[in-house]
Structure 1
């Protein structure tokens, strides 16, 4: 069965444009704060969307609800986020709250990622693995991709248990695929360190081709 073609709606376009407007304002303010602040606030904005909002439907509903007063939204931001995030990001969220724009925070995050990547000359690589990457393996993948592509690389990670013994990396239109189709019972008992070592070996093989 053929899926229907999805067309952008006026609402989608409006959210995208609003997201870009606020994202530019956030990044501009962060650059004025000093070196590295833009990276920090954009990373924290992503964590806010992925962990705090996506993981807490009640919080998400409260932030976007017109029935919750602006003052209450500001109090929620202070109470839940004040000690966790950069003061500039907290101030930015409060501005969005007073303008009843917190329902667009995901659009701001998407735009901020894209704008900052362009400014930094970074490429985005999506990485799909059978288990979450540890810090060491993540760093080695970034270093190897950066060397191969001769550009800074930012990873977007996802986990797919079907990729036992392998991973799939996409950079633009280029796909590096080292996934293993066979599911062997022994793999399920493989130590995490051993798995990471084998994964890195395959990664080095297909990036050196």
Structure 2
């Protein structure tokens, strides 16, 4: 985690210095999306046996329409054999951007997708709790049966039926039955 954090911090400082946080963030997001949608390209960029010049050529084609800073940054990662850590670097970079912009990432997990009204109500409630702007990332997980699980940073609020059942199970294990 230390090395990806250093790379993320370096890119973030560059973005701040050039006053291009939004543009670089958007380009970085696009790069990550492209790599996620094309696993073969990601493997090629990460595979140590592939020639660095070939990797850079692929990187140029992949990032031709992105910010120059991201194009150069990817080449630095290739030179330093760090492309396999790109996802972690990206996540850390986004955390730095959120902190700079006083935004909080809230991960919301529900058993079924939320509609716009439900999402808005949850966002408003979480904004009150976090004292700032909230960015919500939603996922669905049928295993929680019902309710909601919210993660804000390292805090987890489990209001799911599965969580309540697990809690009840633990309480029952601790309880001794006497006759």
Q: Measure how far apart 1:23 and its partner are.
A: 0.8
Instruction: Decide which of 4, 10, 15 is 1:30's aligned counterpart.
Output: 15
Question: What residue is the counterpart of 1:59 in the other structure?
Answer: 41
Higher strand share: 2
| SS, match of residue 170 in structure 1 | strand
Question: Which of 133-142 and 160-169 deviates more?
Answer: 133-142
Deviation string, structure 1 residues 140-183 (Cα, Å, up to 9, x no partner): 64344213432222333322134567532222425162x567xx
| SS, match of residue 66 in structure 1 | coil
Instruction: Decide which of 82, 85, 94 is 1:101's aligned counterpart.
Output: 82
CA distance in 2, matches of 1:32, 1:169: 34
Q: Residue 149 of structure 2 contacts residue 156 of structure 2 at CA under 8 Å; is this kept in 1?
A: no
Question: What residue is the counterpart of 2:166 in the other structure?
Answer: none
Seen in structure 2, the aligned counterparts of structure 1 residues 138 and 72 have a Cα distance that, compared at 3 Å, is farther
| SS, match of residue 142 in structure 2 | coil
Q: Which has the larger radius of gyration?
A: 2
Instruction: Decide which of 132, 135, 157 is 1:175's aligned counterpart.
Output: 157
Q: Residue 31 of structure 1 contacts residue 38 of structure 1 at CA under 8 Å; is this kept in 2?
A: yes
* Equivalent residues, number: 161
Question: Which of 66-75 and 129-138 deviates more?
Answer: 129-138
Question: What residue is the counterpart of 2:61 in the other structure?
Answer: 79
Question: What residue is the counterpart of 1:202 in the other structure?
Answer: none
Seen in structure 2, the aligned counterparts of structure 1 residues 134 and 109 have a Cα distance that, compared at 3 Å, is farther
CA distance in 1, matches of 2:12, 2:144: 37
Question: What residue is the counterpart of 1:128 in the other structure?
Answer: 109
The question of 1:149 aligning with 2:130 is answered yes
| SS, match of residue 107 in structure 1 | helix
Q: Residue 8 of structure 2 contacts residue 89 of structure 2 at CA under 8 Å; is this kept in 1?
A: yes
Structure 1 runs not aligned, ≥5 long? 1-15, 182-209
CA distance in 2, matches of 1:99, 1:44: 21
The question of 1:41 aligning with 2:24 is answered yes
Q: Measure how far apart 1:133 and its partner are.
A: 5.4
CA distance in 2, matches of 1:98, 1:39: 26
| SS, match of residue 49 in structure 2 | coil
Q: Measure how far apart 1:40 and its partner are.
A: 4.4
1:185-200 to structure 2, matched below 5 A, reads none
